[in-house]
Structure 1
Amino acid sequence: MASHKYEFFGPPGAFVVTTSISIITYLTYFLLTPSGSPPPAFLSSPLTYLQTALSTSSLFHLPTLALFLAYFGFTVLLQYILPGPLVPGVVLANGKHNLYKLNALYTSLTIFSLLAGATLFFGGANWVGWVYLWDHHLHLITALNLFCISLSTFLYIYSLRPGPHLLAEGGTSPSPLFNWFIGRELNPRPLLSFLDLKSFCELRPGLTLWIILNISNTMHQLRTTGSITDSMILVNLFQGWYVLDSHFHEPAVLTTMDITTDGFGHMLVFGDLAWLPITYSIQTRYLALNPVHLGPLGVLSVLAINGLGYYIFRASNSQKNLFRTNPSDPKVAHLKTLQTKRGTKLLISGWWGTSRHINYLGDWVMAWAWCLPTGFGTPLTYFYVVYFAILLLHRERRDDEACERKYGEDWGVYRRIVRWRIMPGVY
């Protein structure tokens, strides 16, 4: 057992992470209130406040669980019936590549169009759908937790089936708990041959649900105050654009570490389907309870920050994806590269000559633009900035270790050429 190199401090770490991320999703509900975030009662006696809140709250609601299952099933159906090209992924460790049906943008546009139609037809902000989502937010958190645990367990059991299937390197440890958490199988496809559950969950149900929750929170603000603040509009625009942009550039996800290297276990399942929609919508939920008005100068400042972050993020990611898929394209053919003994080339100029993960910097700058519209009345809405920084630092370390194993001495040469990890001149 000692010979296996664990991430997250092994099985104990997997247990702590699994437990803590679930608890945090509930805390986002109980600590965001109109009387303070966190409320004064929590600050004076945290345990007493949480015990009282739990004892007076209904955590489980079967119709809400059924609603999420129907929503998840509907996204699967749209993946099947909507048009989309079958695109090959990267060559994997077994020398083969998988095919992926790409229609995430069509899926999200279909869902948003149906919701827009229902909203206009059935009464705007007072439509029962938006009211239900707001009133049953706590029940939705429980539904997502239960679904993620169930799906992770199914995936683990499914990965034990006989016959050839590609396992992830990190998911073959001696610990069943750790393998359940990190994921045994690389690309499970238990339903349809083109439906890779990992890439499906990465881009579809959770990301779209994030925006649905944002809209629900916006409708609550409109319903209770009679207007929508400029801060709420900005956060919705930024995050909505981020999701639609991710769906538009769906092919780029096929070359990410999540798809090519990581197994599909509870870490990614929960991150995609529960953590993302619940914690990433904190800003709009806070603004629904505590409206903030930015004014023209505030709006322009936040727009500039988001524009800078998006430019760095999208331009660098597009350059990398184009280089990987069509290195002879004039847009990237002139870039300097380092030839490796593996036969592949590493970019050492352009965006990727400034730092090894310049895209992470753009992503983090955008995170500030999503949080600043909430003002400075609470630190909780800046949870995303702090968490995301930790996530990016950890992801960079994981990627660096994986590349060192992959490229050997060439990676040391590359690191001496491209010195900075994320932020040029700083880190």
Structure 2
Amino acid sequence: MRSLRTGSALASLVTGLALLGTAPAAHAADTPLRDLADAKGKVIGTAVTGSKLTGTYGDIAGGQFNALTPGNAMKWGSVEPVRGTFDWAEADRIVDFAEAHGQQVRGHTLVWHSQNPNWLTNGNWTPAQLRQLMTDHIATEVGRYKGRVATWDVVNEPFNEDGTYRQTLWYNGLGTDYIAQALTAARAADPSAKLYINDYNVEGINAKSTALYNLVRSLKERGVPIDGVGLQAHLILGQVPSTLQQNIQRFADLGLDVAITELDIRMRTPSDSARLAQQAAEYRQVVNACVAVSRCHGVTVWGFTDSDSWIPETFPGEGAATPYDENYAPKPAYYAIAEALGGTTTPPTGACTATYSVVNQWNTGFTGQVRIACEGASLSSWRVNWSYGAGQRISQAWNADCTQSGTAVRCAHASYNGTVPDGGSVTFGFNASWSGSNPVPTVTLDREI
């Protein structure tokens, strides 16, 4: 779970462009988020996919955030898929990128019940062997990035919802003390790194967060190295806990740092202006709660763009959970974050977009779809244009009048769907043939017919 989207064959076949001739496209806040956060002594971070750190994705990741978390690249299954054989390529890429852009790195994660290699989960280990495997892994990974990774999520998700310990390879094999052993090993590997325990559904005061509170208080009393608590904050629209700031404060009162480590706020899709406005208010609420507590280290969003979010694949029919849309345009949530960090913003007056996607593909053909959506703008008529680059040919269309001349395709609205209101959308589809390859075309959307 919570893997950043790496992109399936079909999911990656999506493109969109803002409406030509409308108000200016959405733009960033007057001051980058990272500068606003720096001024408050806070982190504003994002989880990233290392292979995507180029182009617009890389520009936003490097320009807007002062910290990066590898979404998957530092998990055990990624770095040691075969026992004794290591793959550090993507993790190195992220750390190198962060250093080149003056950013901190949050290492994620060392000891977890999920995304472990098969050789580890399927092994028949004695407690002594399992303990050695765990501490050797921590020594190897933390040691590799000693002095380069500021913070580690050492233990991830140790609790069930009722506050009991989760039955895992680690708990079943080593008992509750695996947590102290992992933290101790991490401190030995890099004495300067901050060490955290990280979990979800612990944002408000409840049975699970109280179990985490009791654990970290006990660890501190025992002298086990523990610097902070991570509240993941995978939230649902309308369900931000009212006790969030109070909960952050009670952990801080133990002498611990607190971080919001994996923030996203999901909604039913497609989104509309009302839901996006509510989402913005809730992003502001979360960031405000962190800003209000001096020992809240900062906030990391779990992917900054909807095109790199884990939500749609895990919760079908839900998504739009991040501060940027799939076309890298900042959403109202982005501006709310900026304002909570003390910034001033000049939000765009709105735009309409056309998003092209392949919804089904077979040996010689495919079904395509174009969705036209407006936020802060509207249309009374529309036309969509694109050019195919590999000989694709449209054979049939519905909900639009489509013609193709050579490589050029032009689709105009039908008699019943030319109007697209603010917050609304229309969709048309088509069947087409392809041979050899089916690259994504660049789409333009015109207001005038």
Q: TM-score range by the shorter chain?
A: under 0.3
TM-score by length of 2: 0.25
Higher relative contact order (CA 8 A, sep 6+): 2
